[in-house]
């Protein structure tokens, strides 16, 4: 039989039972849509986690006191040797893969501007700190090397701090705030970064020269952390090794003492992406289950449809249909349902994902061709298989058995 | 006269596990071109089983069937489908039309599986067949909008449309009242006069009297084979009947 006739027969059969056709499609639509939505949300979370990691700073290498394996708790105060500025200088001088390096110290401090006051993190670093952390200056300027050396009382404010102390659309550059009663001149404003991976507001921060923070606010010569930036992502592991070697020498400690630990962005990325992968897998399994349930729905309806039409199969055979004609007819029907249902499902899934992205802040929605293909492919196969299987059974009957079927 | 169907030693045994039902126990029969045969016999005597085998809807356990000279026991499934499509027109007691489909579409169905006809040829042939059975004015009616007699006439048109060598009808009037039965018989008589070979199964003597040959089955065997000298004319019988009130049907 010619394909066009087959297609017409199939369409006619579907039209005769619009509601059932729709119900069958519904299974596919829901299954496909849920896969698209879930994967879009999952992929989105993965991307946004990766995005916020690179927010921390490009190619960041962090030196922290103590052993990371022991959760930062060192072997005992006596053996813990603090990092110092000499170590920072040694790194700057001797590590070819390191672009920038900065000592970092800081604490929460009380900020007062006029009648407003606010508690925020005050971080001290050198003039390269903003580059290491990939902070962008929204307006004003960064402090200079000279200001850092002289312990100048200047600072840069994060977006949240500006809003809390001066109001949203204010320009406080040139004004003075008091940090723990010490007056600082505001020389620059930082561009907003939003929340970090843990959900903490990264913009709730004041950056000031390291020496100033050390002397005026902390009253200690300790260097809490050292942040460095490798030239590229590829050399960040090399940078880590160079820094480690220099530090062991500079601090005169052995590796086993675990006086410090070094973390690179790459390691951090790995841990966090594996966490986000877990989320993707979780969402994907939810989607897979709904696809399965949808699939079972399709199977069920397809199976019943074909069974119920066994007499029709018998009649068609009685007037001359060959097994192949019967098979192709049902296959065409199943394919049509799967195709139309799958297409609607993809569109619906995209809309649902976009609505989700609209209402949930900071959540990128990413629809990958892979998820479309996956959802479409699965439902298609299920639809076709369960249309084909009972049809083949009917087509293999001798006509009188099909005609007698009840 | 040319022999169109030859059955030789046909047996059919249904194996129901514990019991074996011997529905046919050796049937030999020749049907000639232009025959008009009624098969009679008690319920369970094997009439339908025989018709199904002749119609290539079922396979015999033993024996040979020749249709138009061809031994159908040697054919595969697809070839049998071709025989059913081109050589045989089957009419069922329960009409077996496609539900919610027009008369035309039902009649076109065998042509669709034939493949030699264009859409316009199919329509023309289907229209012609429906006109032959007196349904020229009901072409686009859905099957569920037709009376039982009209549905059976659609089924006859469907059996006719591929111009088969024989029409097989298993109790075609079994579900119909006397008047409608006679109308159907009138169509068959007309077709037979035009040369069509027809075999039908019936329980009713007055239907059998309208054919030219009566074959009686008993326990899976042919026990009687009579030639009817002067078949009753269905049209004349219809004219004798009191006129129907709401007549819709008018045979051609
Ligand atoms: N598919 C089947 N499976 C088992 N037994 C069957 C089957 N078809 C028919 N039979 C048996 O074969 C015998 C003949 O049946 P058949 O239908 O040919 O009778 P029939 O002469 O057409 O009767 P009726 O006048 O009631 O239609 C019966 O005993 C019946 O029970
Ligand atoms: Mg019967």
A181 and A223 share a domain? yes
Residues 6+ apart with CB under 8 A from B17: none
Place B194 in a pLDDT band, splitting at 50, 70 and 90: very high
Region B5-23: mean pLDDT is 94
- Pair (A177, A282) in one structural domain: no
Q: Kindly tell me the sign of the dihedral angle through the C-alpha atoms of B18, B23, B28, B32.
A: negative
pLDDT tens column, A186-223: 999 999 887 776 667 889 999 999 999 998 888 887 88
Give the C-alpha separation, A186 to A222, whole Å.
25
Residue showing tokens 């045994």: B13
In this structure, the answer to whether residues A141 and A283 fall within a common structural domain is: no
Distance B44 CA to ligand 1 centre (A): 5
Chain A residues with CB-CB distance to B121 below 8 A: none
Q: What is the pLDDT of residue B244?
A: 67
Report domain extents, chain B: 3-238
Say how far apart CA A97 and CA A239 lie, in whole Å: 5
Q: Which domain holds residue A221?
A: 82-252
pLDDT tier for residue A73 given thresholds of 50, 70 and 90: very low
Q: CA of B168: which chain A residue's CA is closest? A: A318
Length of chain B: 252
Among residues of chain B, what percentage have pLDDT more than 90? 87
A242 and A111 within one domain: yes
Same domain as A238, residue A105: yes
- Ligand 1, residues B24, B47, B215, B220: which to mutate, most atoms within 8 A of Cβ? B47
Q: Cite the beta strand spans of A236-379 per DSSP E.
A: 260-264
Q: In Å, what is the CA distance from A234 to each residue of A102, A163, A264, B68?
A: 21, 38, 11, 85
CB B14 near ligand 1, within 6 Å:
yes
Using pLDDT thresholds of 50, 70 and 90, give the confidence band for residue A393. confident
Total domain count, chain A = 2
Q: Does B73 touch chain A (CB under 8 A)?
A: no
In CATH terms, the fold of domain B3-238 is Rossmann fold (3.40.50)
Q: CA A184 to CA B159: how far, in whole Å? A: 103
Q: Does B85 touch chain A (CB under 8 A)?
A: yes
Q: Is B45 in the pocket of ligand 1 (CB under 6 A)?
A: yes
Instruction: Share the mean pLDDT of chain A.
Output: 84
| Whether A243 and A309 share a structural domain | no
Of A128-137, A207-216, A256-265, B208-217, least confident by mean pLDDT is A256-265
Find out whether the beta carbon of B47 lies less than 6 Å from any atom of ligand 1: yes
Closest CA to A399 of A334, A333, A328, A326: A326
B23 close to ligand 1 (CB < 6 Angstrom): yes
Residue A322 at interface with chain B, using a CB cutoff of 8 Å: yes
Residue ending a domain, among A252, A287, A319, is: A252
Could you tell me the two tokens for A317? 């055979």
On chain B, the residues whose CB falls within 8 A of the CB of A9 are 112
Contacts for B178 with CB less than 8 Å, ≥ 6 apart: B241
Q: Touching check for A15 and chain B: CB below 8 Å?
A: no
Taking the CA atoms of A267, A270, A272 and A274 in sequence, report the sign of the dihedral they define.
Answer: negative
Task: Give the per-residue pLDDT at A301.
Answer: 78
Same domain assignment for residues A90 and A221: yes
pLDDT of the residue at B250: 53
Q: Using CB atoms and an 8 Å cut-off, which of residues 50-69 of chain B contact chain A?
A: 52, 55-59
For residue A293, pLDDT over 70 is answered with yes
Q: Give, in order, the Cα–Cα distances in Å from B233 to each of A238, A390, B112, B189, B209.
A: 109, 48, 35, 8, 9
Residue B172: band (very low, low, confident or very high) from pLDDT cuts 50, 70, 90: very high
Residue A76, domain member (yes or no)? no
Same domain, A100 and A246: yes
The token duo for B174 is: 């079994």
Helix (H, G, I), strand (E, B) or coil at A108: strand
Tell me the CA–centroid distance for residue B210 and ligand 2, in Å: 20
Question: Is residue A314 classed as helix, strand or coil in its secondary structure?
Answer: helix
The reply to whether A308 falls in a domain is yes
Please indicate, yes or no, whether residues A12 and A135 belong to a single structural domain of this protein.
no
């Amino acid at each position: 039989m010619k394909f066009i006739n087959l297609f017409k027969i199939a369409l006619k059969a579907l039209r005769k039972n619009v509601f059932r056709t729709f119900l069958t499609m519904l299974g596919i639509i829901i299954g496909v849509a849920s896969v698209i939505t879930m994967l879009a949300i999952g992929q989105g979370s993965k991307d946004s986690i990766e995005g916020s990691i690179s927010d921390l700073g490009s190619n960041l290498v962090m030196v922290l006191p103590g052993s990371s394996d022991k959760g930062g708790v060192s072997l005992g105060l006596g053996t813990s040797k603090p990092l110092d500025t000499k170590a920072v200088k040694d790194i700057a001088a001797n590590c070819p893969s390191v672009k920038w390096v900065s000592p970092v110290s800081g604490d929460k401090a009380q900020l007062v501007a006029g009648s407003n006051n606010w508690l925020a993190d005050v971080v001290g670093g050198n003039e390269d700190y903003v580059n290491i952390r990939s902070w962008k200056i929204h307006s004003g300027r960064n402090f200079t090397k000279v200001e850092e050396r002289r312990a100048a009382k200047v600072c840069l404010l994060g977006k949240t701090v500006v809003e809390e102390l001066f109001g949203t659309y204010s320009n406080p550059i040139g004004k003075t705030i008091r940090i723990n009663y010490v007056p600082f001149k505001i020389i620059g404003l930082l561009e907003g970064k939003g929340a970090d991976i843990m959900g903490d507001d990264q913009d709730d921060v004041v950056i000031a020269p390291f020496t100033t923070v050390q002397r005026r606010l902390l009253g200690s010569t300790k260097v809490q952390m050292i942040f460095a930036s490798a030239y590229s992502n590829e050399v960040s592991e090399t940078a880590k090794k160079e820094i480690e070697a220099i530090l062991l020498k500079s601090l005169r400690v052995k590796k086993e003492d675990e006086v410090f630990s070094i973390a690179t962005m790459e390691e951090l990325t790995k841990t966090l992406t594996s966490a986000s992968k877990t989320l993707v897998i979780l969402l994907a399994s939810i989607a897979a289950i709904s696809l399965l349930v949808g699939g079972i729905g399709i199977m069920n309806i397809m199976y019943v449809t074909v069974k119920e039409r066994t007499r029709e199969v018998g009649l068609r055979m009685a007037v001359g249909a060959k097994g192949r004609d019967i098979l192709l007819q049902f296959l065409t029907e199943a394919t049509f349902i799967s195709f139309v249902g799958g297409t609607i499902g993809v569109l619906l899934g995209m809309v649902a994902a976009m609505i989700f992205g609209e209402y949930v802040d900071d959540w990128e929605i990413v629809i990958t061709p892979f998820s479309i293909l996956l959802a479409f492919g699965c439902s298609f196969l299920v639809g076709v298989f369960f249309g084909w299987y009972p049809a083949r059974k009917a087509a293999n009957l001798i006509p009188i058995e099909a005609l007698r079927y009840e | 006269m040319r022999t169109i169907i030859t059955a030789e030693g046909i047996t059919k045994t249904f194996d129901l596990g514990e019991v074996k039902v011997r529905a046919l126990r050796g049937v030999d029969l020749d049907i000639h071109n232009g025959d008009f045969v009624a098969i009679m016999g008690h319920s369970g005597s094997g009439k339908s089983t025989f018709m199904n085998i002749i119609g290539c809807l079922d396979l015999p356990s033993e024996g040979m069937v020749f249709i138009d000279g061809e031994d159908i026991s040697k054919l595969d499934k697809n070839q049998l489908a071709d025989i059913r499509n081109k050589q045989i027109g089957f009419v069922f007691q329960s009409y077996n039309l496609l539900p919610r489909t027009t008369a035309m579409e039902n009649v076109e169905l065998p042509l669709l599986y034939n493949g030699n006809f264009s859409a316009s040829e199919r329509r023309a042939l289907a229209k012609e067949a429906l006109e032959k059975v007196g349904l020229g004015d009901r072409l686009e009616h859905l099957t569920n909008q037709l009376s039982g007699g009209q549905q059976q006439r659609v089924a006859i048109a469907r059996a006719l449309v591929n111009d088969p060598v024989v029409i097989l009808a298993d109790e075609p009037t079994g579900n119909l009242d006397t008047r409608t039965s006679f109308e159907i018989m009138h169509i068959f008589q007309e077709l037979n006069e035009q040369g069509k070979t027809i075999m039908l199964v019936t329980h009713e003597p007055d239907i059998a009297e309208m054919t030219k040959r009566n074959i009686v089955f008993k326990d899976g065997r042919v026990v009687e084979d009579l030639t009817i000298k002067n078949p009753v004319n269905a049209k004349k019988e219809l004219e004798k009947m009191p006129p129907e009130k709401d007549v819709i049907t008018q045979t051609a």
